[in-house]
């Protein structure tokens, strides 16, 4: 009898919780994690009221607060220590870490030291070593992958930090690592025996942008998806294929015979795709670092007659400052920038008129809930169907408005 016949009509059974959920946060993303805990409580208390599965009365299933009381402390010389203030024995633990958070500093002899990604990673290891042997399972939610921007090993004289980081987490017994839209998904090849999941941000980015600007029309005559370089084509293809929009690509012809500041200089910057005259543009990238790539692409598109330009990326680092985007917005070069709240955003950024913040808290809470119940999260982490449904609903709505008129 074939496996297909045996599993036909199979409906996933409700599984018991792996253990009581416990969440640990770094100081930098305390508000984000507090909201995740609150949503988990809302979802699970609703199930308890309806008695929707036989496990709702399991010990620790529904608690008003899933955050484990803990603390990170620093000595005067900069060394740190992590402490638990309540028991997590037998818990299904989730550490939510933001390695890019630069909102905290500690005092050293010669002045304040801003906490760096290296410090955050070291703190993460401290947390894991304390939980090891006590928690039933340890999971790490690291939206932005530490040192994950290296696409290939150019020289054996250079460090290979991301691979070493992943191997260290595997050695310490991490059960699940959750990262969002990594720069290069091939990082998982460093640890083939460790579970790494890649949830996508595309649905939330798109829906947040459309909620803010209802003038955007998702049709081939009005909007084009653009990748600012050839390395990000796969992300742009995801948007264009599921939103059924044309795709444009910028190609950077580089001089690989020389290097300037560690980079091969660009000889030419060419656009490949449909005419952009009078059309809205969705520029898709995995992150906004200094903003140079997004703004250079926008300038080129504007010179070719593009209408409104919207920049979408899961992570907005803005290492070049916000002023360059202020000027671009005032001059009409860009209409908006949409990023997620998976990493730290400064209060100044959140006040900007051109910035759209996509709230990923419910998504993270849903992932934790599913993993704790050993549910399949394939459909949850792949936003393919939801993005397609969103586009279909918008087109149906536009059609009904036309009929009403």
Burial of residue 231, with CB atoms counted within 10 A of its CB: 0-12 exposed, 13-18 middle, 19 or more buried: middle
Tokens of 36: 């995740």
| Same domain flag for 183 and 206 | no
| Cα gap 174→140, rounded to integer Å | 7
Q: What secondary structure letter does DSSP report for 322?
A: S
Distance CA 194, CA 173 (A): 9
| pLDDT tier for residue 85 given thresholds of 50, 70 and 90 | very high
Domain count, the chain: 2
Q: Are residues 61 and 155 in the same domain?
A: yes
Do residue 68 and residue 215 come from a single domain?
no
**143 token code pair:** 């939206």
Q: Residue 179 maps to which CATH number?
A: 3.40.50.2020
pLDDT of 5 over the 60 cut? no
91-95, 140-144, 271-275, 373-377: the lowest-pLDDT one: 373-377
Q: What are the beta bridge partners of residue 107? A: 112
How far is Cα 186 from Cα 164, in angstroms, rounded to an integer?
14
Residue 7, pLDDT above cutoff 70: no
Q: Report whether 113 contacts 151 (CB < 8 A).
A: no
Domain that holds residue 171: 14-200+361-374
pLDDT higher than threshold 90 for residue 327: yes
- Dump pLDDT digits (tens) for 182-241: 888 888 888 988 999 999 898 899 999 999 998 899 889 999 999 998 878 888 998 898
Q: Is residue 78 part of a domain?
A: yes
Please write the tens of the pLDDT for every residue from 99-110.
988 877 777 777
Residue where the block lists tokens 């900069």: 78
6 found inside a domain? no
Residue-by-residue DSSP string for 341-400: SSS---HHHHT-TTEEEE--HHHHHHHHHHHHTT---HHHH--HHHHHHHHHHHHHHHHH
Residue 353 covered by a domain: no
pLDDT band at 170 (very low <50, low <70, confident <90, very high): very high
Question: Where does residue 243 fall: left (phi above 0), alpha (psi -120 to 50 degrees), or beta otherwise?
Answer: alpha
pLDDT for residue 338 is more than 90: yes
């Amino acid at each position: 009898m074939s496996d297909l016949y045996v599993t036909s009509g199979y409906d996933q059974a409700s599984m018991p919780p792996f253990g009581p959920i416990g969440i640990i946060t770094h100081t930098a993303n305390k508000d984000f994690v507090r909201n995740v805990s609150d949503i988990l409580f809302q979802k699970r208390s609703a199930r308890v009221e309806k008695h929707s599965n036989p496990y709702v009365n399991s010990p620790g299933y529904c608690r008003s607060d899933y955050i484990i009381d803990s603390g990170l402390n620093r000595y005067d010389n900069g060394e740190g220590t992590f402490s638990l203030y309540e028991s997590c024995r037998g818990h299904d633990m989730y550490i939510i870490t933001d390695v890019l958070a630069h909102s905290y500093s500690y005092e050293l002899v010669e002045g304040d030291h801003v906490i760096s990604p290296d410090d955050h990673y070291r703190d993460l290891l401290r947390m894991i070593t304390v939980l090891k042997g006590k928690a039933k399972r340890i999971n790490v939610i690291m939206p932005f992958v530490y040192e994950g921007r290296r696409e290939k090993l150019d020289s054996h004289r250079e460090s290979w930090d991301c691979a070493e980081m992943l191997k260290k987490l595997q050695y310490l017994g991490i059960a699940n690592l959750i990262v969002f839209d990594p720069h290069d998904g091939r990082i998982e090849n460093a640890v083939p025996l460790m579970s790494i999941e890649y949830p996508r941000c595309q649905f939330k980015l798109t829906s947040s942008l459309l909620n803010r600007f209802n003038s955007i029309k998702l049709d081939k005559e009005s909007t084009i998806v653009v990748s600012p370089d050839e390395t990000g084509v796969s992300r742009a293809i995801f948007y264009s294929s599921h939103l059924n929009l044309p795709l444009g690509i910028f190609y950077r012809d580089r001089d690989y015979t020389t290097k300037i500041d560690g980079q091969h200089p660009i000889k030419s910057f060419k656009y490949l795709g449909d005419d952009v005259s009078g059309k809205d543009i969705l520029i898709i990238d995995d992150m906004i670092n200094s903003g140079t790539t997004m703004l250079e692409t926008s300038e080129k598109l504007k010179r070719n007659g593009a209408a409104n330009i919207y920049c979408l990326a899961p992570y907005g680092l803005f290492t070049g400052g916000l002023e360059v985007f202020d000027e671009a917005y005032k001059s009409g070069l860009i209409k908006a920038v949409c990023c997620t709240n998976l990493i730290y955003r400064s209060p100044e950024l959140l006040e900007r008129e051109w910035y759209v913040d996509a709230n990923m808290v419910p998504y993270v809470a849903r992932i934790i809930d599913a993993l704790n119940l050993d549910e399949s999260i394939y459909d949850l982490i792949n936003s393919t169907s939801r993005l397609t449904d969103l586009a279909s609903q918008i087109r149906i709505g536009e059609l009904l408005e036309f009929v009403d008129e």
